[in-house]
């Protein structure tokens, strides 16, 4: 079993404090992250709806879903990932659940999320 004091010490010592805005499930966000291809670096963006947030401390993650050419694409991002440059909030959505897995089955107007 882990000792809670040791776990808190590791989280406080090694956790990089990011100044990202607070967001919840249902928000539409754009994540700008850096990609290394050989010797080159470039910034790529990923815009979609936040499906879930989970974890705490160093292992906190969030999942973003977008539609690309009619195909749903999901990507999981660790919040403490060093190559995430910034996160922009595009729309604040109002949902009743914290994990909106049901949106995977919906298409078109049914997949629309109400504005807050």
Q: Are 60 and 17 in contact (CB under 8 A)?
A: no
Our count of domains for the chain comes to: 1
Per-residue pLDDT of 56-111, as tens digits, reads 877 889 999 998 888 899 999 998 888 999 999 999 999 999 999 999 998 888 88
Domain-embedded: residue 115: no
Question: In sequence order, what are the residues at sequence separation of 6 or more whose Cβ sits closer than 8 angstroms to the Cβ of residue 46?
Answer: 30, 31, 33, 64, 66, 75
Residue 102 placed within a domain:
yes
Contacts of 101 (CB under 8 A, 6+ apart): 51, 52
CATH code for position 51: 2.30.30.790
Residue 57 lies in a domain: yes
Structural domain for 97, as ranges: 4-109
How much is the pLDDT for 2? 64
Closest by Cα among 49, 59, 56 to 24: 49
For residue 1, pLDDT beyond 70: no
């Amino acid at each position: 079993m882990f000792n809670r004091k040791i776990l808190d010490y590791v989280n406080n010592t090694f956790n990089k404090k990011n100044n990202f805005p607070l967001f919840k499930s249902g928000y539409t966000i754009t994540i700008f992250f850096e990609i290394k291809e050989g010797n080159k670096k470039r910034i790529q963006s990923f815009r979609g709806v936040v499906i879930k947030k989970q974890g705490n401390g160093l292992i906190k993650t969030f999942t973003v879903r977008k539609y690309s050419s009619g195909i749903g694409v999901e990507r999981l991002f660790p919040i403490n990932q060093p190559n995430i440059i910034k996160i922009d909030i595009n729309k604040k959505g109002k949902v009743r659940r914290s994990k909106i897995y049901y949106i995977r089955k919906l298409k078109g107007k049914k997949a629309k999320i109400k504005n807050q």
